Amino acid sequence: MHIKSNEPYSNRTPELRMMVFASLFAALTSAGAYIQIPIPFSPVPVTLQVFFVLLAGSMLKSKWGGLSIIVYTLLGIAGLPVFAGGSSGMGVLFGPTGGYIIGFILAAYTVGKLFEKAENADKSSLLINVINMSVGVLVIYTCGFIQLMFVSEIGPGAALALGVVPFLPGEIIKAGVAAYITSTYKL
């Protein structure tokens, strides 16, 4: 079957290529949910999802990076076990860890926007990439902290102790590795 189009093939290729990469990053983020280290005193496990969210935003930029994480989220809402620990459904989004998932979408978009601005200003470097990734981590943990605090009905200090502080060393490493990869490779 051949679909006719007035556009030459070469004009459609970049969009198709970005769709494929967005799907790939949605799948990688899903796989990252299965690589987890539970923390006994927190409802939030350590996963590789943040790493792939940061890479999606930085490598695919705002539009496609954000869309890839929206696809990931919709897969989880539809019932596929793509959230941390193989969980799924709307209940996860309304639970104590749902804010992190919302933060994933916002972070991928924000990191993408920051990378677009850096590239347009011709100021892309490893240091700028680390700063951009750090902003993405801040977005994720701000959303996660707020929802954890309200859903679990705990104070800000307890929410920071349970859902932010224990994860920061790992997030610093993930952000650094993601910044290095973004500085080294382009899609």
pLDDT at 90: 95
* Contact in structure between 56 and 108 (CB atoms under 8 Å): yes
| Lookup result for tokens 């470097």 | 125
How are the residues of the chain apportioned to helix, strand and coil, as percentages rounded to the nearest 5?
75, 5, 20
pLDDT of residue 50: 96
* Position 50, amino acid: V
Sign of the Cα pseudo-torsion (25, 30, 35, 36, in order): positive
pLDDT at 130: 94
- All domains of the chain, ordered by start, with CATH? 15-184 (1.10.1760.20)
CB within 8 A of 129, min separation 6: which ones? Answer: 58, 115, 118, 178, 179, 180, 182, 183
Buried b (16+ CB within 10 A) or exposed e, 16-44: eebeebbeebbbbbbebbeebeeeeebeb
pLDDT at position 37, please? Answer: 83
Write the CB contacts of 89 (distance below 8 Å, at least 6 apart in sequence): 76, 77, 79
Q: What is the maximum span of the chain, computed from C-alpha positions, in angstroms?
A: 61
**Whole-structure pTM value:** 0.89
pLDDT averaged per 10 residues in sequence order, the chain, 187 residues: 58 85 96 86 82 97 97 96 92 94 98 94 88 96 96 96 91 94 89
